[in-house]
Structure 1
Amino acid sequence: MNKTGRVSVLNGDATLADRVTTGSPALGPDVIYQRLVERSSDIPYVTDINGTVTFIGHQVEVYGYIAEKLVGRNLVELVYPEDLGKVMNDFQQAVECGVESVTTFRVNTPTMGVRYFEDNGSILRDQDGRVLGTSGFLRDITQRRQTEEALKQARDGLEKRVKERTAKLAAANEQLKQEIAQRHRVEQALRESEERFRSIFAESPIGIILYRPDGTFLSMNKACMAIFGIADVARARAINLFNGPLVPENAREMLQQGKTLRWDGLFDFDLVKQSGLYQPAKAGPLYIEVSITPLGLEGKGSLTGYLVQVQDITERKQAEEALRQSEQLYRLLAENITDVIYCTDMNGRPTYMSPSVTRLLGYSVEEAMSRTMEEGLTPASRDTAMKDLATEMALDYKEGQSGARVRRRELEFYRKDGSTVWAEVTVSFQRDAEGRPIAILGVMRDITERKRDEEELREAMLKLSRSNAELERFTYIASHHLQEPLRQVTSYVQLLAQRLEGKIDSDASDFMAYAVEGAHRMHRLINDFLAYSRLGLHSKAFKPVDCEAVLYEVLGILRGAIEETSAAITHGALPTIMADGEQLTQLFMQLLSNAIKFRGDEPPEVHIWAEESESECVFSVRDNGIGIAPEFFDKIFLVFHRLHSPTKYSGTGIGLAICKKVIDYHGGRIWVESEPGKGSTFHFAIPKRGEVQS
C-alpha cells in the first residue's frame, strides 16, 4: 500500500499496475488500477500478517458493511465459525507452499443474510521473502452455490432443459461445460455413494431387509439370511412385510403414518416351518431385536419403502438371564449367610443391611438401617474406625484410586440388649466412573468366641511363661546348691583314699576311684545343666555380632583339642548378625567340640560357611566324623539323650540341647544332614531381624 492508502502490491511480487499498458500520459498506473478495482464487482482487500484488514473495497457496502469500519478488524471475524478451520488450513498451506490460495467460506452479512464467498488471495512478501500479509479478491459465489445445489435436485430434468435452451446456451457454452462437468462429478459421487451403500448393505453384521411401499420383498443381506436360516434369498420373496412374522398385528397403520417400530422377542423357527412361510435351516427359538423404519416420509415426501434391521440378541438375553439368576443367588446368599453384608454411604449411613444383622446385633433390618455404623460402636472401636477411615481417605486422595484394596479391622459393637459383640469388619470402597469413593461395602463376622479364646490363650501363655521362668530359676538354684555337697563328697573320698593308701586291697581302691570319677561326671553334668538353665534366665537385647570374631574366639578356646587331634578347621566368609554374642559362642563351641570329639580314624576336618537370604542367615558346620543315623536326627537335640556310652565318648548329652535352646531363643531353626560313616553337617538359621523369643 502506498502513501495514499491505495494497494501497491497485490498477487505476488508484481503489481497489477505493472501489467497495465496505457497510451494516455495523463493516467498513471495507480489511477488505472484504482478505477479497475472500483468498477469490479469483487471485493478487493489487503491484510497484515495477523489478518487485520488494512484495506477493503467499497463493494463490501452492498452487504451492509461500512468499509472504513472494517479496516482494523481481523478478516476471520467475518467467517462463519464452522468454516474457520478450513480457511485457516488453506492459508497455512499457501504460506508453506508459496502458492496462491483459493478458498470458499460463508459470511452472515448484515443486509443479505448468509452469503458464500470465494477468496482468491496471495501472500505478500518483502524482498527477503518474509511474509508481510495477504491480498486478494472476495467474490460472491452464492448464486453459483445455489445453482450447483439446484443441479443436484434437478438431475432428472437436466436433459429436457438442455434441449429447450440449446439456442439460448450457445453464447454460454463455456458455462455449460462447467455445469456438465459438475453434473458428472455429482453423478460420480452418487455412484460412489450407491456403491458404498451396497457394500454396507452386503457386509453389515446387522441383518437388513428392504421392502417396497406395498410391503413386498425387495432385498435382504447375508447377515439377515444367516439370522433367519435362509439358504436362498428367492425363498424370502414371497414373504410380505405386513403378513410376515416380523410385524406385530395392527402395526401396518402405524408404519404407513411414518412411525418407526422397535421391539424384541422370541422368533420360533418351528412355528415358521409349521406356517409354511419357508423352510429355515435352523430350529428352535431365537431372540431377536427388530427395528422397522418407513423411508421417504421426511419433509412430507411420499413413502418409498421400509427398512427392517434385525439383530440376534440371544447371547445378550442369555447373559441377562444369567445375570438375573446370579443376582438372585447372591441375594439369597446375602440373606442367609451368617456374616452381615452391608453397604453405607461415605457418612456411614446404611443403604443395605443383610438379614443376618438380627442374629449378630439383635436389631431388625429396619432398626439397623436407621442407625449409623458409628452409633453402634463402643467408644474405643469408634475412635479406631474413625481414625482408620480418615487415614484411608487421606491415603486414597494422595495416591489416587487404589482399586479393590480391602481393609480389615476388629471392632466391638453394642447389641440391642446392651451387651457387646466383637466382629471382624472387612471394608472396601465402591467408586464412581472417575475412581472416587462413593460408598463403603463391608462384611461383619462374629469373632466374639475367637476373641474370648484368644484372651484365655494369652492368659494361659502368660501363666506358662511365668511357670517356665520360675522352673528355670528353681533348676538353676537347685543345680547351683548341688555343687557344694558334691565337692565335699569328692574331697572326702579323695582324702579317705590317701589315708587308707596301702591299708586296703585293690578292689577297695578301685571303688574309691570309681566314686571320684562318678562325682566328677556329676560335676560336669551339673555345670552343663546350669549352662542350659541359664539360657532362659536373662534376656538380652540383640546386638550386632561379628560371627567370624566369635569363631576365632572358640578356636582359641579349643586350641588344645585341635592340636591334640590334628584337626583341620576351615571357614568361608561369615556375616555380622543381630544376636546374643555369648549364646552364639556357646553354639559354635558345642558344634565344633562335637565335630572334633566324634571323629573317625582320620584326623577331623571341619568346614564352616554361611549363606544369606532376604529374611535369614543359614550357617553350616560340616565334619568327616562317624555320622548319625537318620532315626536319631530329632532325638539328638533332646536333653540327656546320648547315642554312645560315656566310656567311648565323654559328655553329658546336653550339648546339642543347648544348641537347640540358643536357636529357639533367636527365633530360628536347627537341623542335621548325616549318614553313618560319612560325617555330618549341622545347619542353623537365624532371622536377620530376630527378637527375643519368650
Structure 2
Amino acid sequence: MPGYAKTSKARYGLAVGFTLAALLVRLALDPCLGREFPFSTFYVAITATAFFAGPGPSLIAIFLSFVSAGWLFIQPRISLYSSWTIPLVGSIGFLCVSLLITGIGYISWRSRAMAEASAKEAERRSKQAEEEIAERRKAEQALRQTYERLAQAEKIALVMPLHVSLEGCWQKVTPNFCRFLGYREEELLGRPFRDFTHPADFEADWNQVLRLKSGEIQSFQMEKRFIRKDGKIVWGYLNCSIVTDEQGKPLHFLTYVLDINEKKVVEEELRYNVATLNLAAESADIGTFDFYPETGVLRWSETTRRHFGLPCNAPVDYKVFLSGIHEEDRAKVDQLIRQALEQETGISTEFRTLGLQDGRERWIAVRGRVFYDHRGGPLRLIGTTLDMSDRRRAEEDLRKTMTDLSRSNLELAQFAYVASHDLQEPLRMIASYLQLLENKYRGNIDEKADSYIHYAVDGAKRMQRLIEGLLAYSRITRGAVFSPVNTGKVFSEALANLDASIKESGAAVHGEGLPTVFGDEIQLLQLFQNLIGNAIKYRRRDIPLVVTVSAQKQHGEWLFAVKDNGIGIEEEHYQRIFQIFQRLHSRDEYSGTGIGLALCKRIVERHGGRIWVESVFGQGTTFLFTIPVMKGILHK
C-alpha cells in the first residue's frame, strides 16, 4: 500500500493516533475556542488519515472525532446554545465535510497506490526480462556445447546415430558405423539398408518401418544381424524413430545402432554352456537347489524333486526339505546347513531320504556353497543333489563280496597249506619205498616192470615238487614284515644259488643300478632267482646266453627288467604264463611245475607292483615288474 503505513494494523493505528493528537490539541485550545468550533482540530486528523492511511482508517477517524467532540465539547455545553439546532447543523456539516475530505483523500491515496503498483510491475517485468535474457543466453551456450559434444560423440561413441530416408536408404552414417560394417562412407550413402541386413531379419525390420511411417507407432527397438563387407555376420541393437517438420510431415528416420556382437557371442556361449551343463546334469542324474535363508524360499530342479519323491508341481520349502530326511539324519543335516550359513563354509554330506509320497528310502549326496551380500550376511545357498542309492547298494554288495572273497581266499590258502603240508609226509614215504623197490628189483624183472617202477618214482617226485610249489605259493601272503632291502645284494645271492646252472649253461648274468626298496627280502630273492632261472632254462642252444637285470625310477616306482636273448614267447601266451600250473612246453622239452611265474606275480602284487612280459619270439624275452618307491628309500 502507498503512504507511510504498509500494513492494515499500521494504517488503523495512524487513524487512532491522528484523532488522539487532534483531541489533545482541541483540549489545549478549549479556553480560547470555548463552545465555538468543536470540530476544528479534528478536520486536520481526518485529512491526514485520509491521505496517509486510506479511506477505511479515515472513516474510523471520523467516527472517533465525532464521538469525542460530541461527548467533550458539545454535550456539556448544550445549554449555552440558543437553539439545539445549532450544534446539530454543525455536526451534520462536520460529517459532510469529513466525508468529502475522505473522498478526496481516497482519490489521492488510490492514485499514489496505482503509481507505486505500476512502478513495481515495471521493475518486476524489467527484472524478469533480464532473467529471461540470461536464461536464453545460458540455454544457447548449453545448446552449442551439446551440439559440439554430439558431433564429437558421433565420432567415438558406441551408439551410432544414422539418418535413413523414408525409402530406406542411408543418408548419414558415422565413422564407427562404417568400421562396424567394414565399408567406407561413400560405399554406404544412398544404398538401401536391405543390402546389409540378414535376410532372416529384414521382413521384421521393414514391417516396423512401415508401422512407423503410418503413424501407428512412435518408435521401435529390435536386435538384428548385419552383413559386413567381408561376409561376416554381426549383431546390432536398433532404436528407430521418425523425424517430422513443423507441420508434422515425415522427413527421415533417425536410427541409433549399438554394437552388441560380443554380447551375442557371450550369450550364445552361455546358452551352449547351460545346455551342456543341463545335459550333463540330466545324464548324471544330478539335481540342483537354491535356498534363500532370509525369506525361506527354496527352489528345486525336477531331478531334486524326484530324489525326494515329490512330483514336479509340489510346493517346497525348508520344512518340506527337513521332513523328507530320514529321522536319524535330520538333525545332523539341519546343523550342517546352519553351520554353513553362519561360519561361511560350504556343505558336503550324504544322508538318507524317505520319499514324501512314495516312501522309498534313498541315499542323497549334497554339495553346496553359500553366497553373501555386501554386509556379510548369507544371501543364498546353491548346490547339487545326487542319488547315491545304487552306489551305496553296490558298495554294500562289494563289501559283502570282498568279505566273502577274503574269507574264501583265507580258507583256500589255509586248505592249500594244510593239504600240501599234510600230503608231503605220505608222499615222501611213497617215493622212498618206490625208490627202494626200484633199487632192489631193477634188472631182476622184465623191462616192462622196470619202466612201470620208473614212471611211478618219477610221478612221485613230480608230485612232491608240485606240493612244495603249492605250499610256497600259499605262503606268499604270510611273508615277513617289510623292511629296506638292497636288491643288489639280493641279486648276488640269487646268482650264488644258481651258480651251478650258470656255469653249466655258460650264461653271462649282469646287474645294473639295482636300488634299495621296501619289501620282503626272502620273497624278492625268490623272485630274482625264478626269473633268472627261467632265462637259463629257456635259452637258445646256438648262441651264448646273456641275462641283464636293471632298474630305473619313474613315476614314483622302480621299474625292474630281466632281459635275456633266449627262445622268446609268442604274444598270445603273455597272460597265460602267469597262471598257476600253466606250461607252454612238454616235460620232455623243459622240466618244471608251472608255478614259478605265478609265484613271481603273487610276490610282485604283494609288494604293490605289477609284472608283465615283452618278447620277440626266437630272439629273447624281457620280464618287467614294478615296486613302489617308499619315502626315505630313494637311494640306489
Give percent identity, aligned residues only: 33
Aligned partner of 2:247 in structure 1 is none
Aligned partner of 1:109 in structure 2 is none
Aligned partner of 1:420 in structure 2 is 361
- Select which of 497, 513, 516 maps to 1:557: 497
| Aligned-partner residue type, residue 576 of structure 1 | T
Aligned partner of 2:257 in structure 1 is 311
**Corresponding pairs, count:** 450
Aligned partner of 2:590 in structure 1 is 649
2:236–2:258: 8 Å Cα contact kept in structure 1?
Answer: yes
1:668–1:687: 8 Å Cα contact kept in structure 2?
Answer: yes
1:348–1:374: 8 Å Cα contact kept in structure 2?
Answer: no
2:224–2:238: 8 Å Cα contact kept in structure 1?
Answer: no
Return the structure number with greater relative CO, CA threshold 8 A, min gap 6: 2
- Select which of 534, 541, 549 maps to 1:608: 549
Alpha-carbon distance, 1:594 to partner: 0.6
Aligned partner of 2:239 in structure 1 is 289
Alpha-carbon distance, 1:609 to partner: 1.1
Aligned partner of 2:308 in structure 1 is 361
SS in 2 for 1:371: helix
For 1:328 and 1:603, how far apart are their aligned partners in 2? 68
1:335–1:354: 8 Å Cα contact kept in structure 2?
Answer: no
- Select which of 680, 686, 691 maps to 2:621: 680
SS in 1 for 2:316: helix
Q: Deviations over 1:234-260 (max 9, x none)?
A: 979xxxxxx999799599xxxxxxxxx
| Aligned-partner residue type, residue 619 of structure 2 | K
| Aligned-partner residue type, residue 529 of structure 2 | M
| Aligned-partner residue type, residue 428 of structure 2 | R
Alpha-carbon distance, 1:629 to partner: 1.7
2:417–2:474: 8 Å Cα contact kept in structure 1?
Answer: yes
Q: Map 1:34-433; keep pairs closer than 5 Å.
A: 198-202=151-155, 204-208=157-161, 221-222=174-175, 264-266=220-222, 287-289=237-239, 310-312=256-258, 339-345=286-292, 349=296, 351-363=298-310, 367-371=315-319, 376-378=324-326, 381=329, 409-416=349-356, 420-430=361-371
Alpha-carbon distance, 1:612 to partner: 1.8
1:636–1:642: 8 Å Cα contact kept in structure 2?
Answer: yes
1:208–1:307: 8 Å Cα contact kept in structure 2?
Answer: no
Aligned partner of 2:51 in structure 1 is none
Q: Deviations over 1:113-151 (max 9, x none)?
A: xxxxxxxxxxxxxxxxxxxxxxxxxxxxxxxxxxxxx9x
1:550–1:585: 8 Å Cα contact kept in structure 2?
Answer: yes
Aligned partner of 1:580 in structure 2 is 520
For 1:550 and 1:346, how far apart are their aligned partners in 2? 67
1:428–1:442: 8 Å Cα contact kept in structure 2?
Answer: yes
Alpha-carbon distance, 1:523 to partner: 1.1
- Select which of 640, 663, 683 maps to 2:581: 640
| Aligned-partner residue type, residue 206 of structure 1 | V
Relative to structure 1, the CA distance from residue 221 to residue 313 in structure 2 (aligned partners, 3 Å threshold; closer, same or farther) is closer
1:349–1:372: 8 Å Cα contact kept in structure 2?
Answer: no
1:287–1:317: 8 Å Cα contact kept in structure 2?
Answer: no
For 2:535 and 2:148, how far apart are their aligned partners in 1? 95
Q: Deviations over 1:502-549 (max 9, x none)?
A: 63345534433332222222211111111112224x266543333223
SS in 2 for 1:344: strand
Alpha-carbon distance, 1:623 to partner: 0.8
For 1:614 and 1:334, how far apart are their aligned partners in 2? 33
Aligned partner of 1:468 in structure 2 is 409
2:565–2:620: 8 Å Cα contact kept in structure 1?
Answer: yes
1:288–1:314: 8 Å Cα contact kept in structure 2?
Answer: no
SS in 2 for 1:514: helix
Aligned partner of 1:543 in structure 2 is 483
For 2:281 and 2:625, how far apart are their aligned partners in 1? 53
1:457 and 2:418 aligned? no
SS in 1 for 2:530: helix
For 1:563 and 1:682, how far apart are their aligned partners in 2? 22
| Aligned-partner residue type, residue 502 of structure 2 | I
Alpha-carbon distance, 1:603 to partner: 3.5
For 1:649 and 1:219, how far apart are their aligned partners in 2? 99
In our comparison, the structure showing a higher alpha carbon Rg is 2
For 2:516 and 2:295, how far apart are their aligned partners in 1? 52
Relative to structure 1, the CA distance from residue 245 to residue 443 in structure 2 (aligned partners, 3 Å threshold; closer, same or farther) is same
SS in 1 for 2:567: coil
For 2:501 and 2:604, how far apart are their aligned partners in 1? 25
Q: CA RMSD in A?
A: 5.2
Relative to structure 1, the CA distance from residue 199 to residue 580 in structure 2 (aligned partners, 3 Å threshold; closer, same or farther) is same
| Aligned-partner residue type, residue 368 of structure 1 | V
1:349–1:373: 8 Å Cα contact kept in structure 2?
Answer: no
Alpha-carbon distance, 1:477 to partner: 1.2
Relative to structure 1, the CA distance from residue 268 to residue 555 in structure 2 (aligned partners, 3 Å threshold; closer, same or farther) is closer
| Aligned-partner residue type, residue 319 of structure 2 | R
2:538–2:567: 8 Å Cα contact kept in structure 1?
Answer: yes
Aligned partner of 1:130 in structure 2 is none
For 1:326 and 1:476, how far apart are their aligned partners in 2? 63
- Select which of 572, 575, 591 maps to 2:531: 591
Q: Indicate the structure with greater helix content.
A: 2
Q: Deviations over 1:337-371 (max 9, x none)?
A: 96532112468955311244443323466553142
Aligned partner of 1:447 in structure 2 is 388
For 1:524 and 1:268, how far apart are their aligned partners in 2? 88
Relative to structure 1, the CA distance from residue 528 to residue 384 in structure 2 (aligned partners, 3 Å threshold; closer, same or farther) is farther
For 2:295 and 2:471, how far apart are their aligned partners in 1? 61
Aligned partner of 1:94 in structure 2 is none
| Aligned-partner residue type, residue 343 of structure 1 | D
Aligned partner of 1:297 in structure 2 is none
SS in 2 for 1:503: coil
For 2:629 and 2:573, how far apart are their aligned partners in 1? 29
Relative to structure 1, the CA distance from residue 515 to residue 385 in structure 2 (aligned partners, 3 Å threshold; closer, same or farther) is same
For 2:369 and 2:498, how far apart are their aligned partners in 1? 62
SS in 2 for 1:530: helix
Relative to structure 1, the CA distance from residue 201 to residue 638 in structure 2 (aligned partners, 3 Å threshold; closer, same or farther) is closer
For 2:294 and 2:486, how far apart are their aligned partners in 1? 56
SS in 1 for 2:552: strand
| Aligned-partner residue type, residue 472 of structure 1 | A
TM-score (ref. length: structure 1): 0.53
For 2:590 and 2:280, how far apart are their aligned partners in 1? 70
SS in 2 for 1:574: coil
Relative to structure 1, the CA distance from residue 547 to residue 224 in structure 2 (aligned partners, 3 Å threshold; closer, same or farther) is closer
2:366–2:384: 8 Å Cα contact kept in structure 1?
Answer: yes
1:663–1:684: 8 Å Cα contact kept in structure 2?
Answer: yes
Relative to structure 1, the CA distance from residue 429 to residue 668 in structure 2 (aligned partners, 3 Å threshold; closer, same or farther) is farther
- Select which of 436, 451, 454 maps to 1:495: 436
2:221–2:237: 8 Å Cα contact kept in structure 1?
Answer: yes
Aligned partner of 1:669 in structure 2 is 610
Alpha-carbon distance, 1:631 to partner: 1.9
For 1:481 and 1:363, how far apart are their aligned partners in 2? 64
For 2:588 and 2:277, how far apart are their aligned partners in 1? 77
1:530 and 2:486 aligned? no
Alpha-carbon distance, 1:447 to partner: 2.7
TM-score (ref. length: structure 2): 0.57
Aligned partner of 2:10 in structure 1 is none
Relative to structure 1, the CA distance from residue 460 to residue 427 in structure 2 (aligned partners, 3 Å threshold; closer, same or farther) is same
Relative to structure 1, the CA distance from residue 377 to residue 575 in structure 2 (aligned partners, 3 Å threshold; closer, same or farther) is farther
Which residues of structure 2 form unaligned runs of 5+? Answer: 1-133, 165-169, 192-208, 226-234, 245-251, 632-636
Relative to structure 1, the CA distance from residue 369 to residue 334 in structure 2 (aligned partners, 3 Å threshold; closer, same or farther) is farther
